[in-house]
Amino acid sequence: MSVRVAVIGAGVMGADHARILAVDLPVAELRVVCDADPARAEAVAEVCGAGEVDSDPEAVIARNDVDAILIASSDPTHARLALACIAVGKPVLCEKPLAPTTPECLEVIAAEVQAGRRLVQVGFMRRFDPSYSAMKSVLQAGEIGRALMMHNFHRNLEAPEWFTASMAITNSAPHEFDAARFVLGGEIVTISAFQPRREGSGVPPVLMVLETDDSQLVSIEVNNTAGYGYDVRGELVGERGSVSLNASVPVRVNYDLMSAERYPADWRPRFAEAYRLQDMAWLRAVESGKPCAVGASAWDGYCATAIAEAGATALASGKKMVVDLAEKPALYARLAE
């Protein structure tokens, strides 16, 4: 059986998901590529061999010949489109964030609760990255004892002029928030945020310290203007040892009395396998009719947005902020992985 998918949004991530579905995952049939800009939709559809293009996302969601929807349109459209999918009972993989604000996330959660089933998976692909999965397995196997601290570094080559420090927290850091919740298995209860003075142009890095409900500390550096490449690092420190992410690169280059590894310019090469495994797990979940246990739920999407909101306030006010979460509906009880 194949899963007939429509991809909504033909920008950087929409194009990447369309390619993964069409080229890497034979179980998927890429039926429609939808974008407000028809030329962009055409270009992606042509490269990926999609059946049709459209520019009306709601009409695409309602189509009888589409089984599942992948949302990769602009962030402010995510909640509205996820709600449209829930209304017609269609499974959806929604790129992060689930929504830029917590009230919108809670609306999606309320709709799923009302429908009585989980239809939304949020695209926090690091949950499928082999190095994060291995880090979590080491912790669960008890090899390093109880986790005390998790250190995270998230560096981008460069950021556009309009990128702000608040966006470092609301756009980039949610990956780290979700990775910490996924690996540690607990909830974040407070967040503080700091910035050094940067003399050059571009947004200065943001350093965050988070506390979990099990009194563990999480440090996160988001440096969107690191200037040398896309670089994600992480180390989990336990009571008896530590485990670091060690994502391998295919080659070392030796020249000029030096030996070097290259960094990618953005996140797609670093997390290519994570995206592939995520999309594959989602298709399997669609086929089986059961939500994917590893993937992020709408609740996880809400938590990441809630932490980001508290983090942006912490940075602006210079105060440690409490992450005040709504009550978790029973629908989101942890599934066996």
Residues that bind ligand ISE (CB under 6 A): 156, 171-172, 175, 267
Q: How far is the CB of 124 from ligand ISE (least distance, A)?
A: 9
Q: How far is the CB of 175 from ligand ISE (least distance, A)?
A: 6
Cβ-proximal residue to ligand ISE, closest one? 172
Smaller CB separation from ligand ISE, 156 or 305: 156
- Give the Cα separation of 319 and 171 in Å (integer): 21
Q: How far is the CB of 267 from ligand ISE (least distance, A)?
A: 4
Smaller CB separation from ligand ISE, 171 or 225: 171
- Give the Cα separation of 59 and 191 in Å (integer): 41
Phi/psi at 224 (nearest 5 deg)? -75, -10
Smaller CB separation from ligand ISE, 274 or 283: 274
Which of 205, 95, 209, 97 shows the shortest CA–CA distance to 155?
205
Smaller CB separation from ligand ISE, 172 or 216: 172
Q: How far is the CB of 182 from ligand ISE (least distance, A)?
A: 15
DSSP 8-state symbol, 207: E
Buried residues in 76-115 as b, exposed as e (16+ CB within 10 A): ebbbbbbbbbbeeebbbbbbbbbbbbbebbbbbbebbeee
DSSP string, 235-265: EEEESS-EEE-----S--EEETTEEE-PPPS
Smaller CB separation from ligand ISE, 185 or 264: 264
CA dihedral 275, 276, 277, 279 (to 10 degrees): 80
Q: How far is the CB of 143 from ligand ISE (least distance, A)?
A: 28
Smaller CB separation from ligand ISE, 11 or 51: 11
Smaller CB separation from ligand ISE, 171 or 297: 171
- Give the Cα separation of 128 and 276 in Å (integer): 9
Element (H, E) at 60: helix 57-62
Q: How far is the CB of 156 from ligand ISE (least distance, A)?
A: 5
Q: How far is the CB of 199 from ligand ISE (least distance, A)?
A: 23
Judge contact between 153 and 291, C-beta under 8 A: no
Smaller CB separation from ligand ISE, 102 or 171: 171
Q: How far is the CB of 301 from ligand ISE (least distance, A)?
A: 13
By DSSP bridging, strand 217-223 and strand 206-212 are antiparallel
Token representation of residue 205: 């890095």
